[in-house]
Structure 1
């Protein structure tokens, strides 16, 4: 490998640069998504950010969204001048000319980022100096965010010099070793662009300087951990947690971790606040040394390994605990081979010691569609339904009751997949449903979309955060109630009926005994065999005429399908006596005891 420029050519190029976007626009667009959805969830709110090689500050602004103070450094005075203009709307950010190779920094930063700059440090000594400065500037427990072009599969470094500038594309393995030697732990690796030859890629890396909280000395016979990624999933395990708390010979840890997804906006502060409000003690994933935590059993609430930090994926956790259980996060009724693979082919679904199923019918679905069959599936009932056992006694948020007033409340739940012809009818019926309920004197629409809908509108339709807030305000101005509570029981208890796309609510709401209208996308992927049976209990709408007929019957107080629905409940949800969570906990506990 020849490095004839020795770094001088690259330095000369970047000192004078007034523009830094040398790759295709699509790469930078993707970089925005990756930073927002896969990096920001991990970063400390109200922390301190240092962006080395900040260019015009575009990505400093992204990474600094929730920070208390951010500093951007760059070799180029023209680029820093452009970055300074961002301070008009982001006064917590400041920018200055600085050289990554000659920084002397104290460990005061919660986040340090280097976005694409290390490629241009072709001299190994300068590369090492920059790494020392960046990792040394991090507080223990802090995060390092990197974006670089690297060589794949052990192909070695590649030096580029076209006479105008130079770059060194380092072998990825050697690149990562250099950070590991400085005490950094790899948390996420997200390729943005892979070359046509498959030998080089632009990759975003998220690394951490580990620091862990000390757990109290273990005093109980059993230590159970619940892995929680989203507040919406807490209803699935709340009664298991309560049963473990009631057992004087057990400890239960709720481990909070991100849900990484391009269309889900996970905010650490919001989820932490939710758990605080619920009175649930928790430990964050990045403060727990899982290998030393002496956990006996783990409960997963989501099957999707790629949405979790690497150290909490199934294969990483398996050697560290004696038992792994999975409580399904939703109702598996979607059709198509794609959805069957998602629901039954994930490591958590096929290799957990126990999957707790709501019914024999679901166990049979595992027999037909899970690669490992159904021997690990136990019919327990669904703990999420424990909280629906006495819904009439649930205390509804008084503000919601005030919003509804004397109107008949109808719950509307729409799927997010309006762009893929999967299950959503949002793009087919949404505008007409909104118009039908807008400022209606007798009807109140409780709009509770799938959590991914808003982000799908951002990524596909170009909506900004401000656009989404404006849309919600417009809906409220029309008398439509936008429900964003983590606890769905408020709208379940308040509403008189449900109109819904495919989703968990179709089965959840069945247990209320109230009327349901199934909104079907005729061009979508349909339902699996159990889903078809469930949908047959409800009238189906593919047009507004069917929606209007359902609402008119509701206004008249007519519900001809009620008895048929109530009779069918045991087929879909067995043992729903309000004690499913307790039975699941006892099963885990007894299994551990038998294995001792």
Structure 2
């Protein structure tokens, strides 16, 4: 409960102050750079979501940790008529309801959703860049079980995580788990992994790189994004390379996207 209260307070404050891509993204790098970063995320998400066998007219999709509604909008752009969103914070839910009046949004903790989510009622669930903010391992696994229970058998679970090959890293508001640990947690929750692809390569913290490169590249990114103007230029210059790297590479030193199915 202490972990939940601390996390909720952190995100309530952050999203109340900055309900933009920088508020939900890599805040240190500024809004202009994040806008370019999210263009890459958008391309990867759309490419992979297009492969899912979903009937837009009948499929129900749940987006967990909706934030600003970035992926809610992308599900809608894919033609999905029935999208439900949820977020831990009231700050996000209030604004999401204004931005998407036709979408139902719930304020809930996915590790303890209660009876809000009807069992086996969704064909797909997305949880993008939010699971690594659950720093308590027991609650992380509880979140996976809740998602599995909300999905119909054979339904898709789309997530983004950092899937480390290096030892896990923990902070006050983020825990980067290893790929084997996440794979085991998914297996335990009743999921089968279908594939994993890079979502970003250079436009994010190099959490799975060697310490020297991680420090050098992180310092360079922070230096070139000291102002919104320079951040916008840096994002524009990196964007063409980044969108190719996420297609060419099989793995990345930062955020990756995974698609699973409920067994």
Same fold (TM over 0.5): yes
Q: CA deviation at 1:145?
A: 0.7
Q: TM-score, normalised by structure 1?
A: 0.31
Task: Measure how far apart 1:7 and its partner are.
Answer: 5.2
Partners of 1:56 and 1:114 in 2: CA distance: 13
User: Per-residue deviation at 1:158?
Assistant: 0.3
Other-structure match for 2:24: 21
Q: 2:45 aligns with which of 35, 39, 42?
A: 35
- Correspondence list, 1:123-162, <5 A: 123-151=136-164, 153=165, 155-161=166-172
Secondary structure, counterpart of 2:38 in structure 1: helix
Aligned partners of 1:86 and 1:50: how far apart in 2? 17
Indicate the residue corresponding to 2:68 in structure 1: 56
Over alpha carbons, which structure has the higher Rg? 1
Q: What do the CA deviations read for 1:130-185 (whole angstroms, capped 9, x no partner)?
A: 1110011110111001012332x2x2210023xxxx11011122112211222212
CA distance in 2, matches of 1:80, 1:43: 29
1:111 corresponds to which residue? 124
SS of the residue corresponding to residue 154 of structure 2 reads strand
| Cα distance change of structure 1 residues 196 and 177 upon mapping to structure 2, 3 Å threshold | closer
Corresponding residue to 1:174 among 181, 186, 208? 181
Between the aligned partners of 1:137 and 1:197, the Cα distance in structure 2 is: 31
Q: Deviations over 1:22-64 (max 9, x none)?
A: 3233332111111111123304123011111111211112124
Segments of 5+ residues of structure 1 without an aligned counterpart are 211-596
Match of 2:7? 10
Q: Could you say what secondary structure the match of 2:84 adopts?
A: strand
Distance 1:50 1:190 in 2: 21
**Structure-2 separation of matches of 1:197 and 1:168:** 13
Relative distance call for 1:193 and 1:102 in structure 2 (3 A) is: same
1:206 correspondence with 2:262: no
Where do 1:363-378 residues align within 5 Å? none
Return the structure number with greater helix share: 2
User: Which secondary structure does the structure 2 equivalent of 1:71 belong to?
Assistant: strand
Mapped partners of 2:94, 2:109: distance in 1: 16
Q: How many residues align?
A: 197
Q: Contact (CA 8 Å) 1:47, 1:109: kept in 2 or not?
A: yes
Greater length-normalized contact order (CA 8 Å, ≥ 6 residues apart):
2
Query: What is the alpha-carbon distance in structure 2 between the residues aligned to residue 27 and residue 138 of structure 1?
Result: 30
Report if aligned partners of 2:163, 2:178 keep a CA contact under 8 Å in 1: yes
How far apart are residue 8 of structure 1 and its match?
A: 4.3
RMSD of aligned alpha carbons: 2.1
Report if the CA contact (8 A) 1:147-1:205 is conserved.
yes
Show the counterpart of 1:510. Answer: none
What is the deviation of 1:198?
A: 2.2
Deviations 1:415-443 (CA, angstroms, capped at 9, x unpaired): xxxxxxxxxxxxxxxxxxxxxxxxxxxxx
Number of the residue aligned with 2:239: none
Q: Assess, with a 3 A threshold, how the Cα gap between structure 1 residues 82 and 101 changes in structure 2: closer, same or farther.
A: same
Deviation digits for residues 558-583 of structure 1 (CA, Å, limit 9, x no counterpart): xxxxxxxxxxxxxxxxxxxxxxxxxx
Q: Distance in 2 between matches of 1:74 and 1:191?
A: 25
**Do 1:10 and 1:167's aligned partners in 2 also have CA atoms closer than 8 Å?**
no
| 8 Å CA contact 2:162, 2:207 repeated in 1 | no
Unaligned runs of 5+ in 2: 27-33, 211-252
What is the match of residue 229 of structure 2? none
Q: How many angstroms apart in 2 are the aligned matches of 1:17 and 1:77? A: 12
Contact 1:111/1:145 (CA < 8 Å) preserved in 2? Answer: yes
Whether the aligned pair in 2 keeps the contact of 1:112 and 1:143 (CA below 8 Å) is yes
3-state SS, counterpart of residue 205 of structure 1: strand
Whether the 8 Å CA contact 1:7–1:122 is kept in 2: the answer is no
Q: Give me the whole-angstrom Cα distance separating, in 2, the residues matched to 1:126 and 1:135.
A: 14
Name the CA shift for 1:43/1:15 in 2 (closer, same or farther; >3 Å).
farther
Cα offsets for 1:450-478 (capped at 9, x unmatched): xxxxxxxxxxxxxxxxxxxxxxxxxxxxx
Q: Structure 1 residues 112, 68: closer, same or farther in 2, change over 3 A?
A: same
Q: Is the 8 A contact 1:16 1:76 kept in 2?
A: no
1:75 to partner: Cα distance:
1.2
Aligned match of 2:199: 192
Question: Are the structure 2 counterparts of residues 52 and 43 from structure 1 closer, same or farther at C-alpha, using a change threshold of 3 Å?
Answer: farther
TM-score (norm 2): 0.68
Does residue 83 of structure 1 match 2:96?
yes
Answer whether contact 1:146 1:204 (CA < 8 A) is retained.
yes
